Structure 1
Amino acid sequence: MILIFKYIFPKRYVGLTLWPLIILKDGSLKKDAILINHERIHLKQQVELLILPFYLLYIMEWLIGLCYYGNFVEAYRNISFEKEAYQNEWNLNYLKERPRWHFLKYVF
């Protein structure tokens, strides 16, 4: 399910996935197939980890990255879940081909 809620986003961000929702900053973004694919990759990751552990690992990776890089954006870009989503968002068939637990490839 896709919801539009523009008031929760910092200026650089346009989408957020909170199981089972994809939340977008603007209704026109529903037509952005790449963004929607990116967010659907996160939905798949969340299901694989039974939702709550996904969020715990996501926050833990971000905090470790923040200590390591000293930069919010750099820490975010180096979260394994984000690496997988960004590197595969252009492949609209990715979720059909994606092996289970594939985000682990991006951890190390």
Structure 2
Amino acid sequence: MVIISRYFFYRNYVALTLWPFIIVKAPELTRDKVLINHERIHLRQQEELLILPFYLWYLLEWAIKILWYLSPYKAYCNLSFEREAYKYESDPTYLQRRKRYSFTHYLWKA
């Protein structure tokens, strides 16, 4: 389910996924197929990690990568969950063939 709310967002961020919802900043973003697919990939990641562990893993990995990259934004861009979602966001068939825990392939790859 997609929810529209401008209150969740910081700077240039326009969407986020809080299982089972995709929250977007503006109504026109609901028609952005690439953005919605990116967020649907996050829904799948959250489901396979049983939701709460996803958020704990996300925060822990982000904290570790902030120390590694010395930049919160660069850490975000290099999160395994984000790397998988960005790589396949333009592929509308990705979720049909995605293997479980595929984000782990992006943990330490540069």
TM-score tier by shorter-chain length is over 0.9
- The residue aligned with 1:103 is 103
Matched, 1:85 2:80: no
After the TM superposition, list the runs of 4 or more consecutive aligned residues in structure 1 that deviate by more than 2 angstroms.
none
The DSSP-based 3-state class of the residue aligned with 2:37 is helix
Aligned residues: 108
Alpha-carbon distance in structure 2 between the residues aligned to 1:7 and 1:55? 20
Q: Tell me how large the CA RMSD over aligned residues is.
A: 0.6
* Structure 1 unmatched ranges of 5 or more: none
Q: TM-score, normalised by structure 1?
A: 0.98
- How far the C-alpha of 1:73 sits from its partner, in A, is 0.6
The DSSP-based 3-state class of the residue aligned with 1:22 is strand
- How far the C-alpha of 1:72 sits from its partner, in A, is 1.0
Write the deviation string for residues 62-99 of structure 1: whole angstroms up to 9, x where unpaired: 00011111111100011100000000101010000111
Write the deviation string for residues 18-52 of structure 1: whole angstroms up to 9, x where unpaired: 00000000010000000000000000000000000
Matched-pair identity in %: 53
- How far the C-alpha of 1:7 sits from its partner, in A, is 1.8
- How far the C-alpha of 1:11 sits from its partner, in A, is 2.0
Q: TM-score, normalised by structure 2?
A: 0.96
* Structure 2 unmatched ranges of 5 or more: none
